[in-house]
Chain A
Amino acid sequence: MGRLTRRSCGAIVTGERPSASRPGRSTAKTLCLLDFRYRSAIAIQQAEPAVAATEAPPDRPGSRLLWTRFKRDRLAVASGIFLIVLIASIAIGPPVLERVLGHGPNDPFPYAVDTYLKPVGPLSRVPDLNTSFSNDPFDLGEPPPGTPTTLFVLGGDGPLGRDMFQRLLVGGRISLEVAFGASLLAVLIGMILGGIAGYFGGLLDSGISRLTDFIMAFPLLLLLILLGSTVGNQLTFVTLGGLLQPGVVSLILLIGLFAWFYPARIVRAEVAALKEREFVESARMIGAGEWRILRTHIFPHVLPVLLAYSSFLVASVILMEAGLSFLNVGIRLPTASWGTLLTAAWGTYRNPQPYNPQSMTIWMTLLPTLAILVAAVGWTLFGEGVRRALAPRTTR
């Protein structure tokens, strides 16, 4: 038996072909309640304005069905594995690499750049020396024979000649910290406000909805730049006792406080649809309080939807961090993040480096860009997998 959507349900009620029904434009809202245990469809037709009929269908699969569907989706599973590898390599990669390769992410190697300060390309071996053997600043001089060499897996990162691969991993840690922190903050605020708006409705609902409408139409980036360059400066050195790098907390707060509108809208739509369901009615009938209904009956249904959305959000915060750091209002140099690594090639906005083909390689721009792209694609594919498992029919 196929899953009944509001659309096919409307067709049953009106006796039409499913494709001929127009759910968005009909004046009668068709509410379809499907009881899986008795395999019977009960259709109730209510006179309602057309707008309400366009909301998401509230029937969602349970967690076990969700997992079964997710497992069948090869792309989703691949992206899940990729994310585990990404997080693991960022967490344990730098110390392991430091031991294996013998140099750290912040060690400069004068021999990793040539006389025009052009860094070496990927997979090159560099004399393992931190000083040069010459007093002439324009000529390093030959390293003494028999000097041990060290491997630069992805080449050097810029004029200072540091290991790009290690800096990418260390920078990835900062980027992911910001992404997780800001997404968590945004989802928490969105869940609370969206839940209140959707469940209690009325004046609260219209107030919160108008606020999100208004702010979503405004170019938020400008506001972020303004706040980042004034308030953000004061928060830069809040590190929670050395747990996080400078700048991370201020970026988490800045992005998180302006990214909760989308989760709030999604939670609001879900909760508003769920509270009409019969199990909420039953819970209310046996005397459950509002808080208990929200917590134990509605919240578990919203969670998978939020999981899918949070994954998209992590992807977009990774991109946003890179953008803001690139514009010099996010993470500041010398801390490495994927955004600040880009500035090694390009310069910061305040201090742009004119392009000099003798001192720049394509890798300096391409590698951090690809790291950002690959991480964001991984999170998007994962979120898409969860979304597809939630509502397999909508993707077609």
Chain B
Amino acid sequence: MNLAGYVLRRCTISIFLLVALTFVTFVLYDLTPIDPACVVAGCDIGRPLDPEQKKLIYEAIGVDQPLTTQYVDWVKGVARGDLGLAWQGLLIDPDGGLFGTSVKDAIIPAMWRSLSIVLGGLVLLLALVIPIAALAASRPGSWFDRVTATLLLIGISTHPLVVGLILQSVSRAWPVVPWGGYCSIRTPEFDGPPVTSGAGPTLEPCYGIQNWAWHLLLPWITFAVFFAALYVRVLRTTLIDVLDEPYISVARAKGASETRVMHRHALRNAMRPILTMTGMEAGMAISVLLYIEVVFGIPGLGRLSLTAFSGEVGYDRPMILAIVLFIGMAIIGLNLVVDLLYPVIDRRVGVGQERKRLVVGPAA
């Protein structure tokens, strides 16, 4: 199958999936007993909104329309790149004009912050996993292998919350590394005001790549440590299998050094399950992100979704839909990238071939 056709077909399927996902969210939201007028104007228990006012709000945000019309309007907006205004804190002019926070302006900076945690964490993860797994697999049963096996069992039963809180409380007691907050890479004017949160120590504006990396060090370590145990375990088992293969003997017989055998022949072929896991763990990564962002006070996608989904500021439909859309796109996009990477690391696999699914470890 040719590459362009495959990508096109996958993208078409993805669009249908996203439509289904957001429509289900729409219907579920409609089924929950939430009054949109209360999200906009706030309802106190003793002081219900007056029906006149309610009607005005319904008309302004369009919830008096039938559900399908509302959905089609939302999809049209998304197609134009407009995710709408958040219901929370929306101001309505007497002549029907709307003023409020744009969902897009809230979600896109949050997404970049989350992405910088995930990407940095992923780099650190690979830097941690590959040497450890290679060393353990090259001598199965050695003391290094046994020590890592025990450490892995402990690592598998940790939680991002546990790792994050231990790291944070240690760095609070001995302040070497900042224990929270986020500094943007770019200059503050571009990325909104400098972000400080309830838990972060960065009270003065901070930006620049150095500050950014320094403040994200602990979140990256937390992310990497949580996934490292699972990945080392899988990579080690695969490597032991691969090192048994005849082509490894051939490489050794040709006189290739052990380093070359490991790098050129074994690791390359053992990366496939790791890639599969990366695709499957996308949903898990969102949960991990949520805990990391809460512990380290980083206002990213995880915290945004926590506030939206726990009804912190009212169940804000445009925000919930935008988050569902972004997370869905992230998961689908990641899986597409993973599928496209298979032929790159393993020449025997063609584009779009069915990959082997595997289930590893407990569900955290």
The yes or no answer to A166 lying at the interface (CB within 8 A) is no
Complex Cα spacing A218 to B286, Å: 9
Complex partner residue of B161 from A226, A259, A322, CB under 8 angstroms: A322
Task: Assess whether B162 is in contact with A219, with CB atoms less than 8 Å apart.
Answer: no
Q: Are A217 and B331 in contact (CB under 8 A)?
A: yes
| A349 pairs with B294, CB closer than 8 A | yes
Query: Interface size on A (CB < 8 Å)?
Result: 60
Q: Does B97 make an interface contact (CB < 8 A)?
A: no
Among B5-13, B71-79, B104-112, B354-362, the one that faces the other chain is B354-362
Annotate B232-269 by CB proximity to A: 1 below 8 A, 0 otherwise: 00000100100011100000000000000000000000
Question: Looking at chain A's contact residues, is the secondary structure mostly helix, strand, loop, or mixed?
Answer: helix
A 287-299 to B, binary, CB cutoff 8 A, 1 in contact else 0:
0000000000000
Number of interchain pairs (Cβ within 8 Å) = 146
Binds B, one of A131-139, A196-204, A325-333: A325-333
Bound complex: CA of A396 vs CA of B140, how far in Å?
Answer: 7
Say which one of B42-50, B51-59, B169-177 lies at the interface with A. Answer: B169-177
Q: How far is the CB of A31 from chain B (nearest CB, A)?
A: 19
B290 adjacent to chain A (CB < 8 Å): yes
Whether A316 touches B165, Cβ cut-off 8 Å, given contacts A222-B286, A349-B294, is no
What class of interface size applies to chain B in its complex with A?
Answer: 35 or more
- Residues in B with CB closer than 8 Å to A226 are 309-310
Task: Say whether B283 faces chain A, with CB atoms less than 8 Å apart.
Answer: yes
Question: Is A176 among interface residues, defined by CB-CB distance under 8 A?
Answer: no
Question: In the complex, what residues of B have CB within 8 A of residue A261's CB?
Answer: 363
For residue B334, give the distance in angstroms from its CB to the closest CB of chain A: 11
In the complex the two chains form, what is the Cα distance from A380 to B237 in whole Å? Answer: 19
Chain A, 309-334, CB within 8 A of any chain B CB? 309, 312-313, 315-316, 319-320, 322-323, 326-329
Residues in chain B within 8 A of chain A (CB atoms): 32, 140-141, 150, 153-154, 156-159, 161-162, 165-166, 168-170, 172-173, 179, 198-199, 201, 237, 240, 244-246, 280, 282-284, 286-287, 290-291, 294-295, 297, 305-306, 309-312, 323, 327, 331, 356, 359, 361-364
Q: Which residues of A contact B (CB under 8 A)?
A: 19-20, 24, 51, 54, 75, 216-222, 225-226, 228-230, 259, 261-262, 265-266, 309, 312-313, 315-316, 319-320, 322-323, 326-329, 342, 345-346, 349-350, 352, 354-355, 357, 360, 362, 365-366, 369, 372-373, 376-377, 379-381, 383-384, 396
Known: A19-B245, A230-B32, A327-B290. 12 other contacts (CB 8 A): A51-B356, A217-B331, A222-B290, A262-B362, A309-B362, A315-B157, A319-B364, A322-B161, A362-B170, A369-B162, A369-B165, A372-B159
